[in-house]
Amino acid sequence: MSYLVLCGLVALGQITSLFVRWHMAGGNLLLTMDTTLWSSKMGGGGLAFLCHTLLSGWTQCQELSKGMWLQDIQSQTCAKAVVMLSSGPCEAYKAAYIIGMISVFAFVLNWLLMASSGAILWQYLSGKHKAEYRNWSFYLLCAGWFLVLVALLLWSFVALPALDQLGSLVNWGHNPAGASYGYFWMWFSFVFETIAGALHWWMPLNDELTEEDRLEQKMEQERQQYGAAAQAQYQGYGPGYPAYGAGYGAGYGASPGAPPYPVSTMAGYPGAPPQWGQQPPGPAFGGQM
């Protein structure tokens, strides 16, 4: 149960990090660009002040103040006229857009894998403790963990350095900004997911059944069912017929004269033992008395 609660907290932390700032570029002197996984907006600085006052009629200023999709900013900063002045914004927002989409896809897929892992683990705990259920649950969790790790590494070594260079550009060589709390929040969630995986690995139960154990149980049940069916079949022949398992040689070792088989089945046949109230047959013709 603690594992499921921990996975829920991991998913909640990762969802929250998608809607907060991952990087802040620039400084208050000119402008500050706050970038998330899919958008970027002008957060402050002298240019932001001008956009709200003197340049309030400029559409571009208003869009930057409210926030623009990274794809739109990337298409505008990669225009030939802008690239001729500086290629830094184009490279920064191109990396942020591509890796941001990869990261969103990886995080969403990680939530689905964690949910599937939790469902299989719940089936493992509530039903028969099958080892393959626990193994598949752990494998799904590891797959999501790996996707998150790849996304974070791409952000750390590709997107963040490019955005840091953008911060140096707009702040005239200085870079007081960098990775923001959304990025670190995702790393904390990743650490918690690692702890959840460790808890998952160390929680096998004593009554866990392997495939060989279930096969042996099935064979034993089949043997018991076959024995019960055979017992009922032989008892159906009537009360005079020996019960199944009583032994076909019931007469061996019995008192002399006791027939080793049902008397009722032999009445009327030559050489059969005499029935109650009948005279024993005489000697054969020509025989001695």
Contact criterion met (CB below 8 Å) for 99 and 155: yes
**Which residues form the domain of 10?**
2-23+71-201
Q: Give me the pLDDT at residue 200, please.
A: 82
Please name the amino acid found at residue 86: S
Question: What are the residue ranges in the chain where pLDDT is below 50?
Answer: 173, 244-254, 261, 263-267, 289
Q: Is residue 251 part of a domain?
A: no
CB 18 within 8 A of CB 50: no
The dihedral through the CA atoms of 182, 183, 184, 187 has a sign that is positive
Beta bridge partners of 23: 35, 179
The Cβ-side half-sphere exposure at 75, using a 13 Å CA radius, reads 4
Whether residue 87 lies inside any domain: the answer is yes
Cα angle vertex 98, ends 94, 100, to 5°?
A: 110
Residue 174 lies in a domain: yes
Count of structural domains, the chain: 1
The answer to whether 133 touches 120, Cβ cutoff 8 Å, is yes
Q: Would 40 be classed as within a structural domain?
A: no
Burial readout 44-64 (b: 16 or more C-beta within 10 A, e: otherwise):
bbebbeebeeebeeeeebebb
pLDDT of residue 270: 53
Per-residue pLDDT at 249: 45
pLDDT for the residue 245: 47
pLDDT for position 103: 94
Residue at 225 is within a domain: no
| Residue 130 falls inside a structural domain | yes
pLDDT at 248: 47
Q: What is the pLDDT of residue 13?
A: 87
